[in-house]
Amino acid sequence: MSDAPFEPAPGCVTIDLDALADNWLRLARRAAPGRSGAVVKADAYGIGLDKAGPALWSAGARVFFVAQLAEGLAARRFLPKEAVIYVLNGLEKDADPADYARNALRPAIGSAEELQRWSELAARHGHTSPSALHLDTGMSRLGFESLAALKDAMARCGAAIGADLLMSHFVSAEIPGDPINAEQIALFDAARAAFPDLPASLANSSGMFLAAQPIYDLARPGYALYGGNPTPAARNPMRPVATLTVAIQQTRWIEAGETCGYNAQWTARRRSRLATLLAGYADGLPRGAGASDAKPGAEIVIAGRRCPLVGRASMDLCVADVTDLPEEAAGPGVRAEFFGAAVDLDDFASRSGTIGYQVLTGLGRRYRREYFSPRLATRQEA
């Protein structure tokens, strides 16, 4: 148990570390005979790197990916020294390359300038440190802009950089029929042929489920680990990891024709009972999660029944229509599930006008985090 004092909070994110581990194991089996890493950037997609990292390590993950140097330093604190940690954003301009090497962090090098800085570090220290080579195959975001550019930079200083991974990133893997997937695989295959001795990594969560199975040597699942659906057009094969519950503060009746929320965006079509819940956009709730007169919104579960959010979410509050529930089922203190086992994360996000990635990574600091592992009979609060 945690030694930290219990701090009550109207919102709680309950995190099932066993489900997280099971999701990684499922993906690891799918990656075979290659390996599966684990992407733990953005504080492990909002659920807490300090707990998620060790849980994934215990499940068998040995290769981890973060976005920034600061995240890499945090991951190094929470993971065993044997853990391999890649920094996807590469060598940050204002960072000292020695900070990466000193902490055994492997930058994903994506430009000639980064390659030069990394090779200069090797020259100063008389030895190389591992890194990845990042080739852009269509994202137009990070990475060498072409195989020719990568080969040219490697010809000038490649021997000194100690690269141990070749990687790229899918643009549209969640849409299996998008032709850009095949185009990217072809470009990446050409790069693999140019650097046959380097292990290769292309597949993100959705990429692992493409028919072409472009997993290669190392997959990089992120969202799917945390319960997100890597196959949006089909049933979610992953277990839910995070469950968000929020307490009701107050209920009231309004008459047909009255409105709810800022700018009077939702109008009651009947006499309605509304429940005000203690979460708003300051807690990461999408402002457009509630229904308006022009569109439906997200649905949450109270007392086992789905109830629509209505009106615009405000900074600290949102409102649900609980007219169809017995009055005693939706009173002050009763908790509503926003997503989890009863409400699919991606369903909640899409009805809110956003994506599950944003919902997870935007979970506010005012929510209490509660971690549990039924297998170990442990429960921790943070």
Quote the mean pLDDT of the chain: 94
Task: State what percent of residues in the chain have pLDDT above 70.
Answer: 95
Q: How many domains does the chain have?
A: 2
Q: What is the pLDDT of residues 257-277, one digit of tens each?
A: 999 999 999 999 999 999 999
HSE of 23 in the Cβ direction (CA atoms, 13 Å)? 29
Q: Give the domain range for residue 173.
A: 34-226
**Residue 29 domain-assigned?**
no
User: Is 358 found in the same domain as 222?
Assistant: no
Residue 51 bears catalytic tag: no
User: Is 331 found in the same domain as 199?
Assistant: no
pLDDT score, position 143: 98
Instruction: Work out the burial of residue 153: count CB atoms within 10 Å of its CB; fewer than 13 is exposed, 13-18 middle, 19 or more buried.
Output: buried
Question: Which of 226, 257, 284 is where one domain is finished?
Answer: 226
User: Is 267 found in the same domain as 213?
Assistant: no
Angle at 127 between CA 121 and CA 131, to 5 degrees: 65
Residue 41 bears catalytic tag: yes
**What is the spatial distance between Cα 371 and Cα 342, in angstroms, rounded to a whole number?**
18
Instruction: Please identify which of the residues 45, 81, 262, 295 carries the catalytic annotation.
Output: 262
Q: What is the pLDDT of residues 51-97, one digit of tens each?
A: 999 999 999 999 999 999 999 999 999 999 999 999 999 999 999 99
Question: What amino acid is encoded at 199 in this protein?
Answer: P
Give the pLDDT mean for 126-135.
90
Give the pLDDT band (50/70/90) at residue 7: low
User: Is 265 found in the same domain as 127?
Assistant: no
Question: Which of 200, 226, 252 is where one domain is finished?
Answer: 226
pLDDT score, position 378: 56
pLDDT score, position 1: 40
Task: State what percent of residues in the chain have pLDDT above 90.
Answer: 90
List the alpha helices (DSSP H) in the chain: 17-31, 41-45, 49-59, 69-78, 97-102, 112-125, 147-157, 179-194, 345-351, 356-361
Please determine, for residue 3, whether its predicted confidence score (pLDDT) is greater than 70.
no
